[in-house]
Amino acid sequence: MASAPFPPVAASAASAPPRLAPRHPFAAAAASRRSSLSFRPAAPRRPVLLPPRSSAVAANTLRCTHRRAVSPRSRRRAQGLGAASALAASAWGAGEEKGGCLSCFPKSRRGRSGLARFAPCALPHASGVSFRSRLSGFKVRPSHILCAAGPDEPHVASPTWSDTSLDTPDMDHAISKEELEDVLNTPLPEHPKLIRGQLKNGLRYLILPNKVPANRFEAHMEVHVGSIDEEEDEQGIAHMIEHVAFLGSKKREKLLGTGARSNAYTDFHHTVFHIHSPTKTKEYGEDLLPSVLDALNEIAFHPKFSSSRVEKERRAILSELQMMNTIEYRVDCQLLQHLHSENKLSNRFPIGLEEQIHKWDPDKIRRFHERWYYPANTTLYLVGEIDDIPRAVREIEAVFEHTLSENEGNLVLSSSPFGAMASLFAPKLPGGFAANLSGEKSPATDKIKPVKRERQAVRPPVEHKWSLPGVSQDAKPPAIFQHELIQSFSINMFCKIPVSKVQTYKDLRSVLMKRIFLSALHFRINTRYKSSNPPFTSVELDHSDSGREGCTVTTLTVTAEPQNWRSAIKVAVHEVRRLKEFGVTMGEMTRYMDALIKDSEQLAMMIDSVPSVDNLDFIMESDALGHTVMDQLQGHESLLGVAETVTLEEVNTVGAEVLEFISDFGKPNAPLPAAIVACVPRMVHVDGVGETEFEIYPEEITEAIKSGLEEPIYPEPELEVPKELITQSELDELKLQHKPSFVPLTKEENVVKVFDSETGIAQRRLSNGISVNYKITQNEARVGVMRLIVGGGRATEDSESKGSVIVGVRTLSEGGCVGNFSREQVELFCVNNLINCSLESNEEFIFMEFRFALRDNGMRAAFQLLHMVLEHNVWLEDAFDRATQLYLSYYRSIPKSLERSTAHKLMLAMLNHDERFVEPSPHSLQKLTLQSVKDAVMNQFVGGNMEVSIVGDFTEEEVESCVLDYLGTVRAASSPNTEERIEKISFRPFPSDVHFQQVYIKDTDERACAYIAGPAPNRWGFATEGNDLFNVIQRSDADAEISEQVNLDLTGKRRIDVRSHPLFFGITLSLLAEIINSRLFTTVRDSMGLTYDVSLELNLFDKLDLGWYVIAVTSTPSKVHKAVDACKGVLRGLHSSRIVERELDRAKRTLLMKHEAETKTNAYWLGLLAHLQSSSVPRKDVSCIKELTTLYESATIEDLYLAYEHLKVDDSSLFACIGIAGAEAGEDTNDEEPDMDLHGMAPMGGRGFSTMTRPTT
């Protein structure tokens, strides 16, 4: 929850494709490290035990396009089953975002379909202490270091142990089973730097020193009360207090000028207020910790429940409630209702009930606050650059110790002051109404009661019915949720068991064995069926703990096209039963054990580069679940020790227990599923028939499950994994044939290498025309990232080949083969070498990105794969069919999404029905062939049109050797003189009847949204028709005398003449966007109460001579037109209400703060390097990187107004489209080609997370 909307500073290398960096003035954003695919770990909850890994990346894009919607201020939550979860992902993904919309993470604003945003990413790390000394009979080879199998993104897994690493453990003496058991029961070590304490009034605090980001800290105040604690007539009141307390704090507002960011959110089990702050003020160097603590004290314990503030937040929450009511939210509500039908989790959704929110007066809200908000029911977390711990403790005591626990009554204390009371710092996704939900009845609280304060011993305080063998309870029939806005079929089978606390080595060992077992299932389904045309869209199996729900849930989720639902279920349960009956093979256990250990080693190396917020997130979740918190090295050693004791038999026994609720479904003593829930459409498209009613019944689902379990099963064959894709003899032959060498970068100068000592950037060019940029950095220990950028993208599609590039890229990704290696072999090669790879396209570029570990020749392996993709790519007809069907399905899903329908109609109107900026239509898809999409893609892979950037902890010799060996041996372009032709792109001229439009869709509930857009220049000052706006600037400055381009201001700071710099428009427009966003928030939301969520985003291209801005606003049907007018007023009001220095300074601080923090990540630098040598982006050079800070500091209000003149905001240039959903909606005019959103078909974010409330700002 940022205290006001703010755009991200820069394009992130790992969070967006090269051109999706509109907020950053110069860096093309990068392709995300996303796994591709169809079969991936499902739940956003963290697996147990492991601390977060490092590598948060920057945020980026503000644009209407075909990508999925993700908030720019969100941190991607690591998911899956440790490193081996990468096995579930395609070795090279087409960039589908796992877990979908991340827009409701704390500190985020909502992502929108059609207005692409990319979320920053945080890789959780792992932990350890020496366990080996206790296992004296076992010897571990020093070649393998290990860290705890931790929460992890699907990108690092490995299939084979090195020859010296996984031998049968040697024994100095025989160790008995009893001795081993005694050792395994030893408690895990506690984090050595984590300080815990408790004040006399009961307030608990945790302090963890952490250096990343430098000179900043996180302060989170967790109040252990949430929607689960509300009485029958209080549904939503915990969320209301969060709003009133947070936004009513004057002390919090005073922090806004310091560079601090703040937000808050509410969930089932807790309410969290958090502030991300610099350690000192920039002007005077004053310590900010006392002020931050003072603000949190006021927010939590001394809020003012004034009538005016309550009414203002009532309006905001009612708007939020309507905004949240997406189909994803309604699906989440259904899943939680059935999974937790026996307790209040099924009906106490944090947003509350509309009719109750209307009724509460300040006194009722105050009484709830008095009942729950007191020191003994709160935990304070401080994580960051806090070097003086005793002083921090004194500051905590000084601020909070005088907050008395008056009238507390008898406190019910949990057994641990932290274990049960801390909770999950989880994302919050869009959600909606729960007015029709029914659940447990609680005594009404209409009469004023004496305040009795009590602290629940268990969080959340609910009872569960467990899915355990032999537990007597009636089986529930499958539940079916059918809705007109659902596009595809999905089914969830749930198993619910108590949380097993990870506190001993034995507990950790059990976690490891489960991960090995489930990783095998992930990879089997993905590889076996992805190589053909599978009946499912995705199959996901998740087994993870949930602090917010107080249980461990195993979920099998199957999604499919509605006509294939039976076959999809049968395939999934058949594979589960096969794994349960035959178990994993020795080769699989070896492979996935090695995957976890290699990943663990990598994470342990990154111990000093984990962002504070991710460490804090991990601690909160671990404490909520009762797990021991270890640091990276402790977890590393601990997992290494227990790995030595694991046997194949035990892995299969432990894993089989996890799957019994599926594999033994219908048997007398089998554990009963906690729920089976199918979410299905009302109508489906049938070729040759059109829209037809979809019918499905519970008994049909049951029969499909049983039928799949009865299919014959056979053991899993072993798969040969290549150790290398190019042998040494093949490489020698290639080098002899191509004679790779570095050549001068330009024809004018005979310089073969340019090195900038200030930034550490080196530039090279190969004899085949490929440009190379690299930077050596220790930001992330022994990790590297690489990106290939190929100029062209979708802009090269002509009227006869619409969709050819995007479908072609997806086809290549779907096939996954190179040379003579199958998709399965390529994926396992990537897993073995800790490589994650994605292949994507946008309007300007095709790009391929790699993340790899710099161990065991990991970088050479990544370069080998890149070489094979460029030289020996394989195009398969069935992969083309899958890609085509995928985009056809995306297209048909557009009318079922209010946001996507509205955005698509706006884009088509603004860009004259140019299909290159929206999803290809069925008519266009039908015209494509395998050969046409192959030609569209491969014609762009020309030596001089390719640029490769590499960033990581390598040496100059290592990287240049790989470049020469594997890039230098790529064949030169066969047709180097082929000129790229791009059909004209233009905005629709005025007047027209589509400058203002409306979209209506049928829905059971009312919602509304709107998009307002208009032309802008591109990042480098070019506008439509190729107009160079720098010529206009020079003419406007003709009377000005500028003696020096670089000089000093009165304070001695270095200043630059921004107007003469290539980044003038990138810098000034990003500052303008920051200021306009702040005004939109304070005017349209806060003052006028017309919306809960409004923001402006810029889409600044690098290569194409245009850009645009988009304002997105959510509202109600009755207010949406007023909201649009208000947004226009803010956008056009910069002349009548001029920008002041305070606004500009705040915008500069925000953008510079993010830039400074993100320069500590490889991914960000990868984005900065993009296009340094690109002939299509001639104005970018190294000065654009090293002068960025000075450019921001030098920009003036007059500079911003000069750029503002080129944002077209008049009626003749501005386009708007309003979308309205409801039962009484008018005729749907959405009959054109939609924009692209890769997550339109299925619920996003995992079970239940959309029920969390949105960040308050």
**So which residues are the catalytic ones?**
242, 313
> For residues 1161 and 1155, what is the distance between their CA atoms, to the nearest angstrom?
10
Judge residue 1217's burial from the number of C-beta atoms within 10 Å of its C-beta, 0-12 exposed, 13-18 middle, 19 or more buried. Answer: buried
Alpha-carbon gap, residue 151 to 123, rounded angstroms: 8
**Contact assessment for residue 655 and residue 517, using Cβ atoms and an 8 Å cutoff:** yes
Distance between CA atoms of residues 1092 and 1080, nearest Å = 11
Task: Give the separation between CA 730 and CA 623, rounded to whole angstroms.
Answer: 53
Residues 45, 545 contacting (CB under 8 angstroms): yes
Other Cβ atoms closer than 10 A to 1152: 17
How far out from the chain centre does Cα 29 lie? 15
* CB atoms inside a 10 Å sphere around CB 141: 13
Query: What is the amino acid identity at position 1069?
Result: L
Q: What one-letter code names the amino acid at 1092? A: Y
Classify residue 357 by burial, with Cβ atoms within 10 Å: 0-12, 13-18, 19+. buried
853 near 156, Cβ under 8 Å?
A: yes
Packing angle, helices 823-832 and 505-530, rounded to 10: 150
| Cα distances (Å, whole numbers) of residue 910 to 906, 987, 1110, 1204 | 6, 6, 11, 20
Beta-strand runs (E) in 231-344? 261-266, 271-278
Strand partners, 1112: 1011, 1095
Q: Which amino acid type is present at position 1049?
A: D
Cα–chain center distance at 374: 34
Q: How far is CA 81 from CA 41, 89, 544, 830, in A?
A: 7, 12, 9, 17
- Say how far apart CA 5 and CA 1113 lie, in whole Å: 13
State the Rg of the chain over Cα.
29
In 536-678, which residue ranges form alpha helices assigned H by DSSP? 565-582, 586-605, 612-625, 632-643, 648-663
* Interacting residues of 833 by C-beta distance below 8 A, sequence separation 6+: 158, 852, 853, 856, 857, 858, 861, 862
Q: Could you give the C-alpha distances from 339 to 602, 834, 960, in angstroms and in order? A: 37, 36, 55
Q: Where are the beta strands (DSSP E) in 332-384?
A: 378-384
Pairing of strands 378-384, 204-209: parallel
Distance CA 309, CA 369 (A): 15
CA–CA gap between residue 489 and residue 1242 (Å, rounded): 8
Would you give the DSSP letter of residue 1014? E
> 642, 512, 582: which is closest to 83 by C-alpha?
512
Here the tokens at position 866 are 């890149």
CB 54 within 8 A of CB 631: no
Of 724, 485, 536, 615, give the one whose Cα is nearest residue 194.
615
112, 161, 117: which is closest to 141 by C-alpha? 161
Residue among 937, 954, 484, 464 at smallest CA distance from 679: 484
State which H helix or E strand residue 289 sits in: helix 289-301
| Measured torsion, CA atoms of residues 890, 894, 897, 898, in degrees rounded to the nearest 10 | 150
Task: Give me the residue label for tokens 């314990």.
Answer: 301
Backbone angles phi, psi at 183, to 5 degrees: -65, -45
